[in-house]
Amino acid sequence: MGNLRVSSMLLLSLMAAASANNFHQDVEITWGGGHARILGQGNLLRLTMDKTAGGAGFKSNRDYLFGRFNMQMKLIAGNSAGTVTTFYLSSEGPSHDEIDLEFLGNKSGSPYTLHTNVFTQGQGGREEGFHLWFDPTKHFHTYSIVWNPKIIIILVDSIPIRVFNNEESIGVPYPNNQRMKVYASLWDADDWATRGGRVKTDWSKAPFVAYYRNFVAKSDWEMQGLSARGKKLLSWVRKRCRIYYYCNDERHGRGNRHPPPPECKA
């Protein structure tokens, strides 16, 4: 009887925790009007893009200085060329900080590209790109940003794919003093999103639809760094899935006018 009571209490607490993550309470639709819709009891949000609006977006009501941010997403199926679906953190103003996850669309049968970047004081240029090891259009998957004073970790289904350490000691800017909100959007970027803009949006396939659910923001970020297993998984992702790394960009080559960032030298 005691175990049953404990199990019931645990179930109730989990249900309460789940119901607390409600898009009606947690976010504000920022653009796109009816192309952004909160569905059900507030546990699902749909973004739609067509020629009449070109997309939609929302942001969290709260801002944060550090935390762990989880979002489950289901991306556009079929021909999504030219579209960009996003989940990111950002402060405001021209000298803003930002931690980006951008999912670049593709023609049917081609892999999605997950493009990541870190901005500090309005300066980015620290991109890493990946081809996901699964089809992100068939099911929901969890995308996470861990941001604390020491490290930024980007995870997919709890697998770390990118780490950005605080290396201010060697002159690397790090976002650690501006509060940021959580943003998400779906928009038309066919001038660059798919194969550098060579593949354009096919509006005959519209409307393009992406779904979000289970948004959780925790001010206790949990992870100070990676465990031994986490480091192995990160290494696996880098070898198998990473398609672009800014430190390896030939524009930073010897004799070039654009020297590599200091963390690349280190």
CB contact at 8 A, 118 and 132? no
Closest CA to 149 of 161, 172, 166, 173: 166
Ranges of the chain whose pLDDT falls below 50: 1-19, 254-255
Output the pLDDT for position 12.
Answer: 36
The answer to whether 97 and 152 are in contact (CB under 8 A) is no
Predicted pLDDT of residue 1 = 42
pLDDT of residue 257: 58
pLDDT at position 73, please?
98
pLDDT attached to residue 252 = 61
Tokens coding 77 = 């199926």
Residues assigned a catalytic role:
98, 102
Order across the sheet with 208-218: list the strands.
Answer: 36-39, 44-49, 208-218, 67-74, 141-147, 151-156, 159-165
**% of the chain surpassing 90 pLDDT:** 80
Domains, the chain: 23-247 (2.60.120.200)
Kindly state the helix (H) or strand (E) to which residue 116 belongs, with its residue range. Answer: strand 113-119
The pLDDT value given to residue 11: 34
Task: Measure the CA–CA gap between 35 and 53, rounded to whole angstroms.
Answer: 7
3-state secondary structure the chain: CHHHHHHHHHHHHHHHHHHHCCHHHHEEEEECHHHEEEECCCCEEEEEECCCCCEEEEEEEEEECCEEEEEEEECCCCCCCCEEEEEEEECCCCCCCEEEEEEECCCCCCCCEEEEEEEECCECCCCEEEECCCCCCCCCEEEEEEECCCEEEEEECCEEEEEEECCHHHCCCCCCCCCEEEEEEEEECCCCCCHHHCCCCCHHHCCEEEEEEEEEEECCCCCCCCCHHHHHHHHHHHHHCEEEEHHHCHHHCCCCCCCCCHHHHC
Query: 177-194 pLDDT, tens per residue?
Result: 999 999 999 999 999 999
